[in-house]
């Protein structure tokens, strides 16, 4: 049985990082806000609320030092990806977000990708919070806290093997095989193939990887390119603790989100 696809009236999101400042008093040492410790980089966990829904969504945010943020519902209710900028400890972002890939009888997306603006504040290695407004007029808020697993050293060797689970955006089970050096390939139950795929360490101090891959599905005339972010963290699900790979990818019209466990 295929897992049911979740489609909630969700309308997010966001992003972050920081700039430097200069003290007006020469003998006061002002911290360099461009240093990694001053930036909201890493893995964050929290909740997103929506004006259009009484529910909040448990989510994970991946924020890299080069200006990209990806935020995804932990049950793949949505995926938001875009670029952020900062001024002092204020943050703003322009992102495109996607909800699961449901289509109407004519094949058109039920909820096509849309844009949102996020404005908020952050404390480095602690949290970030703010509000967002979508181009369709919906609005909401978000609250995230820093996950210390950000500081686990990334290592391409730990990825080697087979990782599998279900992708709620495509409503199909999926399996990826990683090889030495960060290359990987995959196949889902709908026959879509993931090729020309690679994971790269962004910086050795952050448990974050940059990914790119192409997806070719039956009936599609050409492969579709996706880029995104990835991490591997320890999570407890149904009373069992183990490593979970969070792998995301998006483009201007589509997104995929995978929460994978390593095959034993």
Q: Where are the domains of the chain?
A: 36-149, 152-262
Q: How many angstroms separate the CA atoms of 71 and 91, rounded?
A: 15
What value does the mean pLDDT of the chain take?
82
How far apart (Å, rounded) are the C-alpha atoms in residues 238 and 244? Answer: 13
d(CA 133, CA 119): 9
β-strands 209-216, 42-50 pairing: unpaired
Report the sign of the C-alpha dihedral through residues 54, 256, 93, 233, in that order.
Answer: positive
pLDDT of the residue at 28: 34
The Cα angle at residue 67 between residues 61 and 69, in degrees rounded to 5: 20
**pLDDT tens-digit profile of 89-101?**
999 999 998 887 6
pTM above 0.95, yes or no: no
Tell me, what's the pLDDT at 157?
96
Structure-derived torsion over alpha carbons of residues 91, 130, 115, 124, reported in degrees to the nearest 10 = 40
Residue 119 has pLDDT above 70, yes or no: yes
Question: Residue 206: its pLDDT value, please?
Answer: 97
Q: How many CB atoms lie within 10 A of CB 125?
A: 16
For domain 36-149, give the fold: Lipocalin (2.40.128)
- Residue 182, pLDDT > 90, answer yes
pLDDT for the residue numbered 56: 92
Decide if pLDDT at 164 tops 70: yes
According to the model, what pLDDT value does residue 109 have?
52
**Which of 30-39, 180-189, 235-244 holds the top average pLDDT?**
180-189
What are the tens digits of pLDDT across the range 57-105? 999 999 999 999 999 999 888 899 999 988 899 999 999 988 876 555 5
């Amino acid at each position: 049985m295929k897992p049911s696809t979740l489609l909630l009236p969700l309308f997010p999101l966001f992003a972050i990082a920081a700039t430097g400042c200069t003290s007006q008093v020469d003998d006061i040492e002002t911290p360099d806000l461009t240093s990694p410790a001053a930036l909201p980089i890493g893995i964050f966990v929290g909740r997103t609320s929506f004006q259009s829904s009484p529910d909040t969504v448990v989510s994970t945010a991946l924020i890299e030092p080069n200006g990209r943020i990806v935020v995804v519902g932990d049950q793949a209710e949505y995926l938001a990806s875009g670029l952020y900028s900062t001024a002092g400890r204020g943050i703003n972002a322009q992102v495109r977000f996607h909800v699961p890939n449901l289509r109407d009888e004519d094949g058109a997306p039920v909820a096509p990708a849309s844009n949102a603006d996020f404005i908020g504040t952050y404390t480095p290695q602690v949290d970030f919070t703010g509000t967002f407004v979508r181009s369709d007029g919906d609005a909401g808020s978000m609250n995230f806290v820093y996950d210390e697993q950000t500081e686990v050293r990334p290592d391409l060797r730990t990825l080697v093997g087979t990782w599998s689970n279900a992708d709620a955006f495509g409503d199909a089970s999926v399996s990826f095989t990683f090889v030495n050096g960060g290359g990987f390939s995959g196949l889902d139950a709908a026959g879509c193939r993931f090729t020309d795929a690679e994971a790269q360490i962004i910086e050795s101090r952050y448990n974050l990887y940059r990914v790119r891959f192409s997806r070719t599905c039956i009936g599609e005339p050409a492969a579709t390119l996706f880029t995104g972010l990835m991490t591997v963290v320890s999570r407890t699900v149904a009373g069992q603790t183990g490593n979970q790979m969070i792998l995301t990818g998006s483009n201007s019209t589509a997104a995929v989100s995978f929460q994978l466990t390593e095959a034993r």
